[in-house]
Amino acid sequence: MSELRDQLITTARAMQPAGLNRGTAGNVSVRCNTGFYITPTGMPYDTLVADDIPLMALDGSHQGRRKPSSEWRFHRDLYAARPEFGAVLHAHSPFAVSLACLRRDIPPFHYMIARFGGDTIRCADYAIFGSQELSTAALQVMAGRRACLLANHGLLVAGRDLVEALALAIEFEDLCEQYWRACAIDRPVLLSADDMAAVIKKFSDYGQQ
């Protein structure tokens, strides 16, 4: 399964040029037959090789020469609870972190909010990094959604594969920047519940083509 681990490393390395990450703060994982592969704790992505990538089972045990990211719990819990997800990505990207520090849901200021499954992107309650409490809070606000903010921490997204998870994370960070810019000028005009329901329906119709 070295191919999957190589794809994981490629995705992790793409986070920094995409503006999602500096240093080793984020983490990314991909589902496999027996659990999931996840980036290891505290290693710069540019030095990673496939053998550095730990394999985790859904019971939280791991194999490999490196320890998994300390934030493995929300990855594990998303794979256990949401069979539609094949990849999970977490980042401390600057605009998402800024909004997460306000502990507010991102409202429907732009129709692309619907890409994440609803008419807002919710912010999970604060809990210390790596804790079960944080994972539980994140899964709660991701019900029916593919992304959330983590209070005073960062962003979390999940997609069907690594390509989609990375694309969603970039879109999410862009939306956070756009919302911040709009709020810096004045209070943005929000789309109505009917407007957003129509967008969500249109996205789901595209998905069925």
Residues recognised as catalytic: 71
CA distance 23 to 153: 15
Closest by CA to 15, choosing from 116, 95, 115, 89, is 89
- What's the gap between Cα 199 and its chain centre? 22
Are 135 and 126 contacting, i.e. CB atoms less than 8 angstroms apart?
Answer: no
Q: How many CB atoms lie within 10 A of CB 140?
A: 12
CA distance 200 to 153: 28
Closest by CA to 72, choosing from 20, 168, 44, 80, is 80
